[in-house]
Chains A and B, each alone.
Chain A
Amino acid sequence: MTQPILQAQDLHKTFGKTEAVRGISFDILPGEIFSLLGPNGAGKTTTISMLSCLLAPTQGDARIDGHSIRGQAAQVKAVIGVVPQEIALYPDMGAMENLRFWGRMYGLGGASLRQRCEELLDTVGLADRSKDKVETFSGGMKRRLNIAVGLLHKPKVLYMDEPTVGIDPQSRRRILDTVIELNRQGLTVLYTTHYMEEAAELSSRIGIVDHGQLIALGSQVELTKLVGQVDTLRIGLDPEGLEEAQLLAAVHKVKRVQRASLENGQLLVQAEGGHAALGGIVACINQAQARLLDLRVDEPNLEAVFLHLTGRALRD
């Protein structure tokens, strides 16, 4: 049986009276892309920070490639690469200059460092901008260079904390393709995101995190089975003059409807066989004299799983 390359056991982190992480445990096998999916503030970054030896766990431990984050930080740091959520680069230094500096921080040097920097600039498509200052780069280019820094020392596990936040779709696509390619070459990736689509596309397994706890873990197929054949209906309503309580009470009475919530004019309904329930729901809307702005029916997906487990949308 293959040994996990990363084992997190009952990780806790408390800041003052706030419990940011409350007992997270999971394993990652070599060659996997494992995603932690959850809304902002769920505890994903705190978990990655503990696994990076940036924060000491209040309780629990993790072993990466056999080394404990509690007592063997130096060994752990040597086998992990970290791509933080922020653009952690020096904007007034060139791309190559940044890579060379960070390479030295990983103990690299000489001709091998130069060669590795050139390879990585090529990998992330910045070879022709190697001398340009990072401050002249677009957001997507900065993100790609940010990833390259995490790969300098050829880590065994790469942590990527929300690496596509705040960039255009084209750059996002390029980053996702880079992650897939790196994984194809054998790199194990721990990926955090609040984008359900990214987790779905990239991951062999997904851990859903909410309020500092891992509330579900499995492959996408395993997770969607949790909600059965329940569809999610998203109905946009004009909030002006909307009698929310009255409408929700009516929708809950519609046959096949399992759960309904209304927030900021967005009616979220989970119903078994969503299309079949649609007629009844629209009738309720008409009866409440609400104005329907848009309507979408989603078949079971990770977002529905999150909604099913927490009663809230993933992007709440």
Chain B
Amino acid sequence: MRALYIGWKDTLRRFRDWKALAGMLAAPLLISALIGLAFGNLNDTETPISEIALAVVNHDDGELGQIYVDVLHSEDLTDLLAAENMDDLAVAQQRIREGELRAVVYIPAGFSDNLLEGAQGSDFGSHAEVQVFTDPTANISPFIVQSIVEQISNGLNSALLAGQVSALQAADYAHILQERMAGLGEAVADQLSPENFDVRESRLGLNVIQTGESGPAFDPYSFFVPGMAVFFLMFSVFDGSRSILQEQTRGTLPRLITTPTPHSQIILGKMLGTFLTGLLQFALLVLASTLLFGVNWGSSPAGVALIMVLTVFAASGLGALLTSAARNESQAGIVVSAVSLIFGALGGSFFPASNLSGIVDLASRLTVNRWAMEGFTKLTVGRAGFNEILPEAGVLALIGLVTFVLAMIGFKRRFVR
């Protein structure tokens, strides 16, 4: 019970501090707004997405399957996509599992024939399917690949159905994929031009089946608001963790120790204060971003709540652990600031960490930010449900639990002399 009083006292003190509030709430909202505005304007900015590793497995002998291959390899998309052709679908899928590829576009045998035959009958296009296999750990890049395939299909579909080339309309959707995607419409148009494809011959349908999640157009706020929220959460939670050393320096911690309140309650109370502050900060950011930017946090409020609570839990535990190991308050300040920045850069607060590979990817997976961002991006961008974010939730819970226990041990050793 006394731990609750200590925790609540710390939370109140933190929220009375206008400077702290500026860092906790105003800064992440402001930066999210600026980044959101910048990335929402195709003419002004570069997307951070590039060279998405992709394989095209084309088992179709006809011209229609080849259109997908040609578009995905087209010059206009070389910055965005690093596409390669493969024959074996199983091998390609294995490479996704090994993290070498983000997506595989599979055009089955007889795709063109099915389309053309289907167009003559009642089961219009029902057997013509392009499948997109995606990396379940990646968030943005599969979404982009799906969108491109969808646009090729839409363009093709329109051409087949309407008897006219409508692929240029694809450019209307290019804003979701930023500037590097702006050439997609032309690329598709080239492939569907009368020279390459006689649209008068067929009026055919087309289905695209995606193995990954589909969703609405990419909203930069859906990515950057959670990113900034996690980044600034780390700062404020780490800073809050230092308050135990501040109390030691200013004499209130020794005085607490001279009261009959057990040491474990004092340490727990201090960590609880950091946790409550972080939780309140994040909840306010979720609320404010929804009201100000219209951020859609997905269809699973329980999932958002779970990832939020566990992110704050993991950040609080890590902050406490770093503080318990620091020699003094100023050393703790330097360490936690550095860790906040490194975690922010590595963990995907500024760009999708799903693009990382090798040792950098491994390092990224050691950060709280990475798992928090994976969870939030699944919810906001991928529209995932509660069950789908359980792996991320599990990792965050584990980080929080381990760091909390180690911090408790560290603080006990430190303050009981």
Contact = CB atoms under 8 A, between A and B. Distances in A.
Specify whether A and B are partners.
yes
Nearest to B415: A54
Contacts of B6: 105
A88 B257 contact: no
B259 A102 contact: yes
A99 to B, nearest CB: 13
Contacts of A104: 2, 5
- Say what secondary structure dominates the interface of chain A: loop
Contact of A105 (B16, B256, B416): B256
Contact of B261 (A49, A85, A105): A105
Interface stretch (B65-73, B109-117, B158-166, B247-255): B247-255
B261 A86 contact: no
A77 interface: yes
A105 B5 contact: yes
A236 interface: no
Q: Which of A82, A88, A89, A93 has the most CB of B within 10 A?
A: A88
A54 B258 CA distance: 6
A92 B255 contact: no
Contact of B255 (A53, A107, A149): A149
Interface in A98-114: 101-102, 104-107
A62 to B, nearest CB: 14
Central interface residue in B252, B255, B258, by most chain A CB within 10 Å: B258
B261 A93 contact: no
Interface string B211-225: 000000000000000
Range class of the A interface residue count: 20 to 34
Nearest to A74: B260
Contact of A106 (B16, B251, B257, B259): B259
A78 B259 CA distance: 7
A88 B254 contact: yes
B200 interface: no
B4 to A, nearest CB: 10
A80 B251 CA distance: 17
Contacts of B327: none
A-B pairs with the 7 shortest C-beta distances? A86-B251, A88-B251, A88-B255, A105-B259, A82-B258, A77-B260, A52-B258
Given A53-B258, A54-B257, A88-B254, 5 more contacts: A54-B254, A55-B417, A77-B259, A104-B5, A149-B255
30 contacts: A49-B254, A53-B258, A54-B254, A56-B416, A56-B417, A74-B260, A77-B258, A77-B259, A77-B260, A78-B260, A80-B258, A82-B255, A84-B251, A84-B255, A85-B251, A86-B250, A86-B251, A88-B250, A88-B251, A88-B255, A90-B9, A92-B17, A93-B9, A101-B9, A102-B255, A104-B2, A105-B2, A105-B6, A105-B259, A105-B261
